[in-house]
Structure 1
Amino acid sequence: MKTILLSIRVGEMRSDTGTREQFEYHAISVAGVRPVNEDAWCIAPVDGGLACAVADGIGGHEAGDVASALAIRIFRETIQEAGLTAGDPETAAAILKQAHTLAHEAIREQATGNRSGMGTTFVSACFGNGMVSLCNTGDSRCTLIRAGTVCSLTKDHSFVQSLVDREVITQEEALTHPMKHIITHSLGADFAADCTSHRLLAGDTLVLSSDGLHDYVTQETMCMAGEALTAEESASFLMEAAAKTSNDNITLIVVRVHGKTIPQEECD
């Protein structure tokens, strides 16, 4: 960790590590080369598992950091008031979507004066009972690393992703497209939230991240992170790799799955 921090400003790092049920986690967030960290994140215990979220604020001079922090606060309050549990993935997904919706409404209400136009991307997850329920708005992402393969469990709400969906460009071309940072949905603007649930296997590594991470690391790097012994080592490896080239804030939460699970769904 100290080697990483020397290059990404010691005072700007926030991190957390621990284990909840069968899920080991580690989170890191840094400002990177930017003067303000507009990303925000949280990890919260829920009955039977773990809930977490990553937000990436939009509009630096319009208080993107305020929007991301507000989204995280509303997320925490919503899952606590709803009594989120990890046993029912459909109910968990519905509560996650409710949190996205309430956060969007709160941001719109406070987007006045010099905060006009503020917004944030948002990805949230509930882990428990061998499952993960996800909800995403914008281009923050949840990536699954499993047995040497990497795939995104969320689909970016972005202009470039729409080109990929229409087969105008390939997924490989999307990685270097000059308009890859243009998003089509966010909290605070044109709102949408997509929810899915997925079966997990022992040994899976999942990464919730802002685009300051996943736009700057390769699939090969992601695969190598999945081979790390702990969630903390995996997160540190990804942070160090991204910090070499990223020109954005960098935030990630790594969740490692332990124990026995029954395979019912494979990642495409």
Structure 2
Amino acid sequence: MSQWITALPMYNVTPHHGALWRALLEDALDAFAQAGGPRDVAVLDNPGDDLLALWRRPDLLLSQTCGFPYRMLGLTDAVQLLATPAFDAEGCEGAHYRSTLVVSARAWAQGAVTLAACCGLRAACNGHDSHSGMNALRHAVAPYAREGRFFSSVAWVGSHLNALRALGAGVADVAAIDCVTLAYIRDALPELLHDVRTIGATASAPGLPFVTSHALPAEDAARLRDALDLACAADAPRAKALRLRGFVRLSSTDYAAIEQCADEARALGYPELA
């Protein structure tokens, strides 16, 4: 490959977080080059909206995807799993994470203090291809759904930040928020949580994986894994700000837990978040 590309689009909750992730990426690329990896690498600060197309590019050296497209949308055919970050955030256990179930303060005051009590309320969800916002919530709701429905409506709002804003604005009542994103918001944007209440958590699942194209030779993939470890250890204050404990080596089969969530919801007659 004459030139490679990289992008870390998943946890840029604020510009500050985005800058920290870019700095970690640059340190990883430096360590990778020093170990004999390719040096001609372009960092994409704005990879565009079609992330599935980005992750399928044969010149993708490094990116982070969601477990749902990785396991459910065929990404395993295009990428190889490098590592999964382990975070210091409530809801995280090693390289596994949960989504936090939240409701608006208004819905809480009207009795929505459990997920079962949210029947007939309005949901906000970041996207159809999200495990944390859609698949995990669908799995949690499935035991309470009747005839394939639980919510009165589902608004697809594009991000977890927008889901929280929808709750605060009174245009939605309930959402599932990735617990790492929620920790970042508590650190940097606590005002978004003033009118939000926590009512539970979803099942645990493997975290958002770092991946590379199958075009990258195995020996370079091993060097890149080591480079991620070095970048994490290179700046302890940065790692602390990112709540990043390190990187764990999971296998692709570990991500079957995400498919299992979808299968269990379907078995209960709830194939779509509705």
TM-score scaled by length of structure 2: 0.26
Structure ranking higher in strand proportion: 1
Bigger helix share: 2
Higher relative contact order (CA 8 A, sep 6+): 2
**Structure 1 length as normaliser, TM-score?**
0.26
